[in-house]
């Protein structure tokens, strides 16, 4: 008699814990997905803006110097900025 009561009490407790853990995991997963989507959209806009900025810089510089030199200069600057960012991220 007592074994059935104890077994039922344990089953009810574990079912409640299982439900609570699943709800918490779903909430955390939803937050992570929302953050990842927003980060992806932000990175996309940042990349598009950077590309337009770089094309604008090349067009502006090509008025003053040979266009190949302008492309090389902008490429070098972007590579240096990328290297600095990589070094900052790795710390």
pLDDT tens digit at each of 91 positions of the chain: 778 777 887 887 888 888 889 999 999 999 999 999 998 898 899 889 889 998 999 999 999 898 889 899 999 999 998 888 888 888 7
Euclidean distance between CA atoms 55 and 29, whole angstroms: 39
Euclidean distance between CA atoms 45 and 56, whole angstroms: 16
Total count of residues recorded for the chain: 91
Largest CA distance in the chain: 95
| Cα angle for residues 56, 46, 38 (degrees, 5° grid) | 160
Can you give the C-alpha Rg of the chain in angstroms?
Answer: 28
* pTM over the 0.85 mark: no
């Amino acid at each position: 008699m007592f074994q059935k009561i104890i077994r039922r009490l344990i089953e009810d407790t574990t079912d409640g814990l299982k439900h609570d853990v699943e709800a918490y995991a779903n909430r955390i997963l939803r937050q992570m997905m929302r953050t990842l989507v927003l980060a992806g959209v932000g990175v996309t806009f940042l990349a598009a803006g950077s590309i337009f900025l770089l094309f604008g810089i090349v067009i502006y510089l090509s008025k003053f110097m040979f266009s190949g030199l302008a492309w090389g200069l902008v490429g070098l600057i972007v590579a240096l900025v990328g290297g600095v960012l990589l070094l900052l991220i790795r710390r």
